[in-house]
Amino acid sequence: MTMEIEMETVVKRFRDYISFNTQSDEANDKECPSTPGQMVLAKHLADELRSIGLTEVTVDEHGYVMATLPANNGDDSPVVGFISHLDTSPDAAGGPIHEQIIHAYAGGDIVLNEEKGIVFSVADFPGIERYKGQDIMMTDGTTLLGADDKAGVTAIVSAAEYLMAHPEISHGKIRLGFTPDEETGRSADRFDVKAFGADFAYTVDGGEIGGLEYENFNAANPTILFHGRSVHTGDAKGKMKNAVSMAAEWQQMLPAGEKPEYTEGHEGFFHVHTVAGSVELVTMEMLVRDHDRAHFERRKALLDDMAAFFNKKYGEGSVEVHHRDVYYNMLEKIEDGNLYVVELAREAMEEIGIEPDVQPIRGGTDGARLSFMGLPCPNLFTGGANFHGRFEYLPLPSLKKAAELVLAIMVKAASCKGKAGK
């Protein structure tokens, strides 16, 4: 059976969602959602889900939206879930978004904003040329677009709407979930896996067409504190202990080739992303990433060894390392009896003419944490590229295919009877 979602449907829905400014705020760890715009979109989305006929639609006080597409096949098929996030990245301006469609992209550079002289350069982003001839949505170069992850929300809701409009298509129970604050790393904190009630799920939060991901980094975000001693510079010899100098020395001691700008694939890294302070105290924020758990633990141990060296060199208490693990590689849980979830997605892709592109995620998704919370949860593509920046773009045929992939999995999930829960 051919199931095709109209391009006009997904484009209109996506434009609706990006009209809401839902940038999250990493600094606001006291409230959830961290910004009010996310709750506005959550309530709007809940109203939309009710209007297309979904049941058990809820919005909790933290902006988590859940809904049910009831089974119509009369059997005890497993319950499949689909999850996307409502917030957009705080790394670039989030709105108001002035989107535009580059119709039948001819290749070459694109002038996004003539007045401000903003040009999308193919030399910087050559990957766009694979979409020659397609309609591509971008912004005017002053904000991000928001395909991460409003393209995912669009794909899920459009697929659910299609099934509601075609009751002749047999399927099991389907659960939909939409979360706040994914970009801050906190969205899984309050996700109620038991209330969601799915046997397995997919986050729809990936990049370009074909993406199927079930392997991600193990991640830690340590904070390093450097304690110095301030003395008048005219009388500092043998007395001053400069925390700024210690932080600079620390950065130089990290393995030179093991930084994000030098690594790819399964290669892990150390990354210093924020340094703030003065002679007395410097606070350094780091990322430690590795796909291999044993290597990951060794990386954290190296930081402890470095701290011990500094404390011997500069005096006890000069350096403190505060470790904070954030998420782990979902491959551990997927390989533990749940590979059928990946195979289901792979087969669905092939059936609708998409070549699966299985790559390790050089990052993490909600699905990584949810997998460790008992909900196996690989990640599917949304179609977008250049996330978190003002040169983000979304080939519209890829968005349409993302919705059709979700639809295909919704229908095929009933075939997993007897596998879920292993």
Q: Give the model confidence (pLDDT) of 70-124 as tens digits.
A: 999 987 889 999 999 999 999 998 889 999 999 999 999 999 999 999 999 999 9
| Residue appearing with tokens 């295909």 | 408
CB atoms within 10 A of CB 360: 17
List pLDDT tens digits, range 57-80: 999 999 999 999 999 998 788 999
DSSP, res 240: -
Q: How far apart are CA 181 and CA 33, in angstroms?
A: 6
CB of 388 closer than 8 Å to CB of 89: yes
236 vs 416 pLDDT, higher one: 236
Asked whether the beta carbons of 48 and 141 are under 8 A apart, the reply is no
pLDDT digits (tens, 9 = 90+) for 308-320: 999 999 999 999 9
Angle between helix 7-18 and helix 147-165 axes, rounded to 10 deg: 130
Structure tokens at 191: 């996700």
Q: Any idea what DSSP says for residue 79?
A: P
Residue burial 207-245, b: 16+ Cβ < 10 Å; e: rest:
bbbbbbbbbbbbbbbbebbbbbeeeeeeeeeeeebbbbe
CA distance 390 to 384: 13
Can you give the pTM of this predicted structure? 0.90
For the chain, what's the residue count?
422
The pLDDT, as a whole number, for residue 365 is 83
75 with 84: CB under 8 angstroms? no
User: For residue 102, what are the β-bridge partners?
Assistant: 136
Give mean pLDDT, residues 368-382. 95
pLDDT grade for 1, boundaries at 50, 70 and 90: low
Report d(CA 333, CA 336) in Å as an integer.
Answer: 5
Q: What is the largest CA-CA distance in the chain?
A: 85
Instruction: Report which residue type is found at 115.
Output: E
For residue 234, pLDDT over 80 is answered with yes
Task: Give Cα separations from 139 to 145, 152, 404 (angstroms).
Answer: 6, 18, 25
pLDDT digits (tens, 9 = 90+) for 160-198: 999 999 999 999 999 999 999 999 888 999 999 999 999
Kind of pairing between the strands at 379-380 and 200-204: parallel
Give pLDDT, residue 95.
86
Helix (H) or strand (E) holding 244: helix 243-253
Domain 7-215+330-414 has CATH 3.40.1390.20: no
State the residue for tokens 């049910």. Answer: 68
Report d(CA 402, CA 301) in Å as an integer: 41
pLDDT at 172: 96
At the topology level of CATH, where does 219-326 sit?
Alpha-Beta Plaits (3.30.70)
Which parts are annotated binding residues for Zn(2+)? 85, 148, 183, 205, 388
Q: Is the pLDDT at 268 greater than 50, yes or no?
A: yes
- CB of 421 within 8 A of CB of 411? no
pLDDT tops 60 at residue 242: yes
H or E element at residue 219: strand 218-220
End-to-end CA distance of the chain: 30
Q: What is the pLDDT of residue 419?
A: 66
369, 379 Cβ separation under 8 angstroms? no
The predicted model gives 38-47 an average pLDDT of 98
Mean pLDDT of the chain: 95
Task: Give the residue numbers annotated as catalytic, written as ranges.
Answer: 87, 182
Residues 366, 380: Cα–Cα separation, whole Å: 12
**In the chain, where the domains are located:** 7-215+330-414, 219-326
pLDDT of 420 reads 60
Q: Distance between CA atoms of 179 and 47, rounded to whole angstroms? A: 16
d(CA 252, CA 239): 24
Average pLDDT over residues 287-295: 97
What does the pLDDT read at residue 422?
Answer: 43
Beta-bridge partner residues of 110: 120
